[in-house]
Amino acid sequence: MAIRHYWSMAVAAVGFRLVLVLFGGDLHLASRPEVSTPLTSLRRLAEGYWLKQASMSPYSGLMYHGSPLLLSVLGPLTSKRSGGHHSHIYCSLVFVAVDFIAAMLIRSTGRSLQMARNRSLKSLDLTKSVNNSVNVSTGDTASLIYLWNPWTIITCVGSCTSPIENLMVVIMLHGACSRLAPLAAFGYVMATHLSLYPAILILPVALLLGYGPDTPPTKVFLQKGLSASKIDMLDNGKGTNQKGFGQFSWKPILHFILWVFIWSCYVLLLNSIILNKVGGLQEMFEKTYGFILTVKDLSPNIGVLWYFFAEVFDFFRSFFLIVFNMNIIFMVLPLAIRLKHRPFFLAFVYTAIVAMLKSYPSAGDSALYLGLLGLFANELAEMQFTFFLFFGYIGVSLLSPVMHNLWIWRGTGNANFYFATGLAYTCLQTVLVVETVSSMIKHDRKLRLLTKA
């Protein structure tokens, strides 16, 4: 069921962003720790660009920790020659376009996923029984959620580079879902280069390229084949169709690996050219990836690592750095084993876990996985605690600026006030991940029961 007046709502979302950018004045979002981080701050990028223009390393001022490629793309827009407030407007206009492109790619990906879902349900003769309960256009829903999410909007107009990082992740997933290995490899290399954590998405991307978009578990198709053979109803066409599901192809993956190597060499070459005479690749790795993994900047954000490492003794710091960084990796394999038949949903779960446990999280990270969540509106229709989660996110969004103001500006609170909102935010994301995975497993179990019936 397509959403009526989709384009009107999409254009209105873009128009709303343009109004905020052109006529909203200085909303002071760039200074908000929920919006801008040491890795995504446009002010820090402007500092790095100024240092580079002064023939110094952009990393020498201990301010900039992003990609040299962003310096070349966005740096000229941040220079004072562009005219103070106008430079902010130019960058925000770029982010508006980036958000719209990401939303359109999410919409296209949603259509591919829905076509795969309909094919698999048709092969199981479950189209009527499943679609009678809920059947919405997931691509339209997800793209509108992404465009109208308040966190996406404040990230877009808040002078940070998160929209570009989100676009690269969406390009990677769109390319993998469409089985376009060069496009998926480009998105993967760029997303990993910009923020490191998307590297764990290699598993869902490989599964998407090998198996294709999400389908019910192979057990359901085997079960359907067995039940059909018992009543002698399995003809050659159906048998071929069902065997097609669950077959793994290595050719797209080898193609993907080749293109990852090509794009990686190209990105490293460009970085070495940009940093020529003002630094090198080794310094870039230390100041970007090393900065992410060692959590050297303990300025407040909506995560929990800044508070923990501000309190921990230096003697134990290395140990807990290993624990926190490995915590994400420990979850990769078990989830991949359980959800290998739903690779795109697996990518969503990984994205949510990264947004929860990364060293410098922001509202932009949550905007990405909440947009991807809309792609599973049909499968997660019976998810519990949606009311609690919805108003929990609203509560955290409202309380976080209040607690930050009480602590930093009014002096009537302390760091525990602000950290409490970050802790509540992490708990909400944990509940969301657990509930979505549980609901997807229940949906697959429901399909198995319907097949038996």
Per-residue confidence in pLDDT tens, the chain, 453 aa: 567 788 999 999 999 999 998 887 667 788 889 999 999 999 899 899 999 888 888 998 788 999 999 998 888 888 755 455 566 788 889 999 999 999 999 999 999 998 888 888 787 777 666 665 567 788 999 999 999 999 999 999 888 899 999 999 999 999 999 999 999 999 999 999 999 999 999 999 999 998 888 776 666 666 565 554 444 444 444 443 444 445 778 899 999 999 999 999 999 999 999 988 887 889 899 999 999 999 988 889 999 999 999 988 888 999 999 999 999 999 999 999 999 889 999 999 999 999 999 999 999 999 999 999 999 988 888 888 899 999 999 999 999 999 999 998 888 878 898 999 999 999 999 999 999 999 999 988 888 888 776
Task: With respect to residue 94, please indicate whether it lies within any of the assigned structural domains.
Answer: yes
- What residues does 138 pair with on adjacent strands? none
pLDDT for 229:
47
pTM score, whole prediction: 0.91
Task: With respect to residue 184, please indicate whether it lies within any of the assigned structural domains.
Answer: yes
pLDDT for 420:
93
Task: With respect to residue 398, please indicate whether it lies within any of the assigned structural domains.
Answer: yes
Task: With respect to residue 1, please indicate whether it lies within any of the assigned structural domains.
Answer: no
pLDDT for 238:
41
Provide the domain count of the chain: 1
The two three-digit tokens of residue 357, written as one number: 């446990």
Residue 362 belongs to domain spanning: 6-290+297-452
Task: With respect to residue 369, please indicate whether it lies within any of the assigned structural domains.
Answer: yes
Task: With respect to residue 86, please indicate whether it lies within any of the assigned structural domains.
Answer: yes
Task: Give φ, ψ of 41 to 5 degrees.
Answer: -65, 130
Cβ neighbour number for residue 415 with a 10 Å cutoff: 15
